[in-house]
């Protein structure tokens, strides 16, 4: 059977999204083993997942303009290649410093990978099938999220944490082959534009200062960096409005559906990203389970998301996507509220109920919200819209993990995470889940604002 271009594009998008998330999430299961191998304290240990998302956040906005100028396919190919190099380097790491450096390399590749894959789907797939196609991409994310705890738990328990990185290498090579030989076209929407170097630098410095400062907010230097980062980002926005070829078209935020969907995405990732890490810590340090057992339980939420996502995406082609998104976040809010009262004696079945509700809620939210973002801009701005949703995701994920680092450092200081400190681990988790519940509520309100907006979704296709 001969496959068409749309099928190959969706397949590549699925593969890239799957293995990027598989590796980034799988590391969470391996963090205790990595920390033990390199003798990390709890602050450095929490930076293992955080540093990846920090680098992704820095590079995502420039990746949007670069992919639009030089071509979405070239940008995707470069992103997967750099991600592959970072993965090989992580396998060969011999110290904390070398491991974190290669995590940064992975982050740079992941930024281009995320932006280009999504933009390629928007360009290649018919508008009436866009939600369904994006739903399959999100399914790749959730399948990776569901399978990574089980597979990586098995790998860590039986072969060591380096096996996580070795396992993705052949699949990344396969992805490169498919991009080279099965996708002949190229999409360039900003070909005549100049690269906005000053804007990229302002954004990079601003987001780096803000997020790094946020993770150390309990210190004076952290507070100063956070405020400085916000000031620079505001300056970046003002600068971009005056540019003929901005690295990010700020005028897109005049569309209420685009703005509200991005805000909802940001709040949702702040709320949800940290939950897997909290539950992993709860199972391994509080309950005393091993990585393999923890991984088997953690599969519940993402497998439900993976089942829900393509159906929700397809549904969002017919029903207002932000109505579905608001409903999903309402369900996720209930899940976070349950976890806010998590203690050492909480029955496992209550945790499972919360995980099921989280899976249903986020499965109903993510694909429709992504469809709302990508469908609220003209086709020529697909790379920018893709960069925007990827930026909201990575900033939200990084802030979520930064919140983890911040609260655990405030409650535990520099103590290593260990079963003897189970009480402090539980207390930290309760504080974080309470904050995340508020973020879920904000995401609901953002989606409701978009529903009431008179702005229209775009239904045109650019070949």
Q: Quick one: pLDDT at residue 286?
A: 85
Residues listed for the chain: 463
Q: Quick one: what percent of the chain has pLDDT higher than 90? A: 17
Q: Is there a contact between 47 and 277 (Cβ–Cβ < 8 Å)?
A: no
Q: What is the mean predicted confidence (pLDDT) over 32-57?
A: 80
Q: Is there a contact between 36 and 88 (Cβ–Cβ < 8 Å)?
A: no
Distance CA 342, CA 398 (A): 23
Q: Quick one: pLDDT at residue 457?
A: 60
* Neighbour count for residue 235 (Cβ, 10 Å): 12
Instruction: With a cut of 80, say whether residue 398 has pLDDT above it.
Output: no
Instruction: List alpha helices for 316-381, DSSP H.
Output: 321-340, 348-375
Per the listing, tokens 């096996």 go with 163
Give φ, ψ of 176 to 5 degrees.
-60, -40
CA distances from 204 to 54, 142, 201 (A): 10, 28, 5
Instruction: With a cut of 90, say whether residue 228 has pLDDT above it.
Output: yes
E strands, 97-144, where?
none
Binned at pLDDT 50, 70 and 90, residue 448 comes out as: confident
CA 315 centroid distance within chain:
23
Q: What is the mean predicted confidence (pLDDT) over 248-263?
A: 86
Region of poorest pLDDT, from 131-145, 159-173, 352-366, 439-453: 131-145
Handedness of CA 218, 223, 225, 229 (dihedral sign): positive
Instruction: With a cut of 80, say whether residue 84 has pLDDT above it.
Output: yes
Tokens of 187: 């999409």
Per the listing, tokens 């901005």 go with 246
Q: Is there a contact between 357 and 300 (Cβ–Cβ < 8 Å)?
A: no
Looking at every residue in the chain, the average pLDDT score rounds to: 83
On the CB side of 104, how many CA atoms lie within 13 Å of its CA? 8
Instruction: With a cut of 90, say whether residue 23 has pLDDT above it.
Output: no
Distance CA 325, CA 313 (A): 10
Distance CA 394, CA 428 (A): 23
Q: Quick one: pLDDT at residue 37?
A: 82
* Neighbour count for residue 55 (Cβ, 10 Å): 24
CB contact set of 190 (below 8 Å; sequence gap of 6+)? 65, 68, 69, 245, 383
CA distances from 388 to 168, 258, 286, 433 (A): 27, 10, 38, 26
Distance CA 127, CA 374 (A): 10
Distance CA 76, CA 186 (A): 11
Q: Quick one: pLDDT at residue 332?
A: 92
CB contact set of 181 (below 8 Å; sequence gap of 6+)? none
Q: What's the pTM value of the predicted model, to 2 decimals?
A: 0.74
**Is residue 383 packed enough to be buried (19+ CB in 10 Å), middle (13-18) or exposed (0-12)?**
buried
Distance CA 317, CA 66 (A): 29
Binned at pLDDT 50, 70 and 90, residue 1 comes out as: very low
CB under 8 A, 24+ apart: contacts of 429-435: 429/278, 429/281, 429/282, 429/339, 429/342, 430/340, 430/341, 430/342, 430/343, 431/407, 432/274, 432/278, 432/403, 432/404, 432/407, 433/275, 433/278, 433/336, 433/339, 433/340, 433/342, 434/340, 435/403
Q: What is the mean predicted confidence (pLDDT) over 202-225?
A: 84
pLDDT, tens digit, 9 for 90 and up, residues 297-340 = 887 887 888 788 778 877 877 788 888 889 999 999 999 999 99
On the CB side of 401, how many CA atoms lie within 13 Å of its CA? 27
Distance CA 412, CA 424 (A): 7
Distance CA 147, CA 461 (A): 34
CATH homologous superfamily of 5-184+247-452 equals MFS general substrate transporter like domains (1.20.1250.20)
* Neighbour count for residue 350 (Cβ, 10 Å): 13
Q: Quick one: pLDDT at residue 46?
A: 72
pLDDT, tens digit, 9 for 90 and up, residues 412-438 = 877 777 788 888 888 888 999 999 999
Q: Quick one: pLDDT at residue 144?
A: 79
Q: Quick one: pLDDT at residue 455?
A: 62
Q: Quick one: what percent of the chain has pLDDT higher than 70? A: 95
Nearest to 77 by CA among 113, 24, 110, 123: 113
Q: What is the mean predicted confidence (pLDDT) over 80-95?
A: 90
Distance CA 337, CA 273 (A): 15
- 92 DSSP assignment: T
Q: Quick one: pLDDT at residue 458?
A: 55
Give the three-class secondary structure for 340. Answer: helix
Q: Quick one: pLDDT at residue 461?
A: 44
Tell me the Cα Rg of the chain. Answer: 21
Instruction: With a cut of 80, say whether residue 138 has pLDDT above it.
Output: no
């Amino acid at each position: 059977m001969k496959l068409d271009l749309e099928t190959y594009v969706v397949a590549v998008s699925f593969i890239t999204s799957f293995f990027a998330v598989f590796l980034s999430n799988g590391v969470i299961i391996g963090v205790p083993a990595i920390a033990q191998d390199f003798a990390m304290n709890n602050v450095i240990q929490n930076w293992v997942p955080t540093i990846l998302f920090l680098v992704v956040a820095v590079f995502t906005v420039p990746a949007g303009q670069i992919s639009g100028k030089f071509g979405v396919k070239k940008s995707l190919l470069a992103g997967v290649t750099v991600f592959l190099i970072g993965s090989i380097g992580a396998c060969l790491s011999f110290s904390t410093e070398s491991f974190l450096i290669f995590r940064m390399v992975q982050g740079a590749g992941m930024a281009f990978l995320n932006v280009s894959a999504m933009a390629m789907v928007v360009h290649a797939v018919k508008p009436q099938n866009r939600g369904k196609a994006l739903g399959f991409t999100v399914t790749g994310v959730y399948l990776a999220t569901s399978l990574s705890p089980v597979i990586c738990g098995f790998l860590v328990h039986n072969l060591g944490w380096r096996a996580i990185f070795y396992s993705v290498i052949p699949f990344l090579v396969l992805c490169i082959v498919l991009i080279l030989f099965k996708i002949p076209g190229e999409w360039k929407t900003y070909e005549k534009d100049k690269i906005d170097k000053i804007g990229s630098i302002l954004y990079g410095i601003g987001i780096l200062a803000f997020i790094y400062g946020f993770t150390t907010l309990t210190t004076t230097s952290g507070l100063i960096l956070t405020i400085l980062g916000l000031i620079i980002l505001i300056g970046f926005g003002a600068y971009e409005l005056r540019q003929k070829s901005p690295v990010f078209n700020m005028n897109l935020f005049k569309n209420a559906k685009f703005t509200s969907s991005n805000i909802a995405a940001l709040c949702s990732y702040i709320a949800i990203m940290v939950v897997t890490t909290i539950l992993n810590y709860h199972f391994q340090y509080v309950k005393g389970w091993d990585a393999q057992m923890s991984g088997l339980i953690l599969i519940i939420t993402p497998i439900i998301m993976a089942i829900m996502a393509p159906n929700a995406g397809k549904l969002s082609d017919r029903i207002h996507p932000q109505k579905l998104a608001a409903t999903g976040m309402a369900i996720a809010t209930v899940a976070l509220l349950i976890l806010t009262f998590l203690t050492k004696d909480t029955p496992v079945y209550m945790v499972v109920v919360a995980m099921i509700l989280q899976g249903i809620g986020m499965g109903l939210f993510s694909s429709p919200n992504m469809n709302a973002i990508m469908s609220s801009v003209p086709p020529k701005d697909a790379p920018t819209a893709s960069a925007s949703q990827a930026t909201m995701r990575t900033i939200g994920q990084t802030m979520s993990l930064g919140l983890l680092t911040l609260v655990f450092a405030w409650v535990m200081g520099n103590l290593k995470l260990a079963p003897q400190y189970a009480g402090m681990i539980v207390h930290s988790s309760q504080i974080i889940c309470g904050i995340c519940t508020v973020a879920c509520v904000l995401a609901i309100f953002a989606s409701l604002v978009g529903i009431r907006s008179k702005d229209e979704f775009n239904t045109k296709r650019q070949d």
